[in-house]
């Protein structure tokens, strides 16, 4: 599959520049099959009412949350005017790039780019040059490369072919039980490898002389495994399977749905980001992954947190999560600073104000947010 790296120039010609309305939206255009855009020329709401701003707006798809894919492009917006002598005057041009964590509803461009009084009532041209566009020669010839299965997951499942004991770990999560195989957990997580080998003391090991436990398999489908008696022989006529539990791990700080999602990740490399009510559990999975040294899950959860940022949830993340995990600070701080007026009016921010005793770093964090907010306001005022 060959690809062409190219650029696209899109422009709109508007006759009689002095007769343009207070704002003008261009027709929607596309840089490829998945990304659509629109230009906005807007008369600024200031005292002299004499300046225009020019902005590039993403026309978001249903699954887009941030500018992540769009941020791979670079942009230059421009304004020109064809005047009476048929010569083109270049009035403005400026380049910019957009951070990948920027919310998809946030447009980019510049205020006060031209004065209305400087126009000659000629033909106004507004446009954008987009660089680094990838086009595929043919969707028909496109080759699909699936995401590779982690090597430790492959090795763990291979070992199961030769292990009749299968389930030997019991998780007690706030009274709810889950069952898993120590070989899978140990291969996929250094954390579990250590506690299941006895190097750490977070699990209870049951010796050979202790009785096996009748168990209702919740995570592993028990129909896939033969029933095992204490002597190790198969007993397919026994309707109540007996599992040789060697380790019990009790967890109280995470709820069952979060632990279930972690176990599913360890077994399949797939992640469920929401609970049964479709509420996000991303921040809990991030905390859990950090604690249990699951670096891949942590990175994927971090990316998801930034993609899910919105006015209604950023305050809790900023004041509760960011102080403990520094790598979240910059993108979350930037989002909150850019949208501080709306965030300040949100219910979540008001709830934090009502419970400041739970947020000891509130004053320091708020000071940083306001400093960044005023920097952004000052930049847009020019």
Domain ranges in the chain? 4-141, 155-217+241-295, 309-380
Query: Which tens digit of pLDDT belongs to each residue from 20-57?
Result: 888 888 888 888 757 889 999 988 876 667 889 999 99
Tell me if 5 sits within 8 A of 132, measured CB to CB: yes
**Which residues fall within 8 angstroms of residue 93, CB to CB, at 6 or more apart?**
76, 77, 78, 79
Mean pLDDT across the chain, nearest whole number?
A: 79
Q: Give residue 19's pLDDT.
A: 87
For the segment 185-191, the average pLDDT, to the nearest whole number, is 88
> Quick one: fold of 4-141?
2.60.210
Determine contact, residues 193/186, Cβ cutoff 8 Å: yes
The pLDDT of residue 187 is 86
Q: What is the pLDDT of residue 161?
A: 47
Residues linked to residue 88 through DSSP beta bridges, in sequence order:
82
Q: Is the pLDDT of residue 310 over 80?
A: yes
Separation between Cα atoms, residue 283 and residue 3, nearest integer Å? 37
Provide the CATH topology of domain 155-217+241-295.
Answer: Potassium Channel Kv1.1; Chain A (3.30.710)
**Residues contacting residue 311 through CB under 8 Å, at least 6 positions apart:** 339, 342, 343, 346
> What pLDDT score was predicted for residue 224?
39
pTM score > 0.75 for this model? no
Residues 82-104 pLDDT 10s: 988 788 999 999 998 888 878 88
């Amino acid at each position: 599959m060959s690809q062409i790296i190219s650029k696209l120039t899109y422009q709109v010609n508007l006759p009689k520049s002095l007769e343009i309305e207070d704002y003008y939206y261009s027709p929607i255009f596309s840089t490829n099959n998945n990304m659509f855009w629109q230009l906005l020329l807007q008369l600024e709401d200031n005292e002299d009412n004499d300046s225009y701003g020019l902005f590039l707006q993403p026309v978001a798809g249903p699954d887009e949350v941030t500018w992540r894919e769009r941020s791979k492009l670079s942009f230059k917006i421009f304004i020109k005017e064809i005047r009476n002598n048929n010569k083109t005057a270049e009035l403005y041009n400026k380049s910019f790039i957009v951070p990948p964590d920027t919310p998809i509803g946030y447009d980019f461009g510049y205020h006060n780019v031209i004065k209305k009084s400087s126009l000659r009532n000629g033909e106004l041209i507004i446009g954008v040059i987009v660089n680094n566009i990838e086009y595929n020669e043919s969707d028909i010839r496109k080759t699909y490369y699936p995401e590779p299965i982690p090597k430790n997951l492959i090795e763990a499942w291979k070992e199961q072919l030769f292990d009749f004991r299968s389930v030997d770990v019991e998780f007690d999560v706030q009274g709810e039980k889950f069952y898993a195989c120590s070989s899978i957990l140990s291969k996929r997580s250094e954390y579990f490898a250590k506690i299941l080998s006895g190097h750490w003391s977070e699990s209870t090991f049951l010796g050979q002389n202790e009785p096996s436990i009748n168990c209702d398999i919740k995570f592993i489908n028990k129909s896939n495994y033969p029933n095992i008696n204490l002597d190790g022989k198969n007993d397919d006529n026994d309707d109540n399977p007996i599992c040789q539990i060697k380790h019990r791990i009790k967890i109280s700080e995470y709820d069952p749905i979060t632990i279930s999602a972690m176990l599913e990740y360890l077994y399949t490399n797939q992640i469920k980001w929401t609970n049964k009510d479709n509420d996000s559990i991303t921040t809990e999975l991030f905390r859990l992954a950090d604690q249990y040294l699951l670096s891949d899950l942590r990175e994927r959860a971090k990316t998801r947190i930034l993609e899910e940022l919105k006015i209604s949830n950023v305050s809790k993340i900023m004041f509760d999560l960011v102080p403990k995990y520094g790598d979240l600070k910059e993108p979350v701080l930037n989002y909150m600073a850019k949208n501080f007026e709306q965030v300040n009016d949100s219910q979540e921010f008001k709830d934090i104000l009502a419970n400041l005793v739970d947020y000891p770093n509130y004053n320091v964090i708020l000071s940083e947010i306001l400093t960044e907010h005023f920097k952004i306001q000052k930049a847009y005022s020019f």
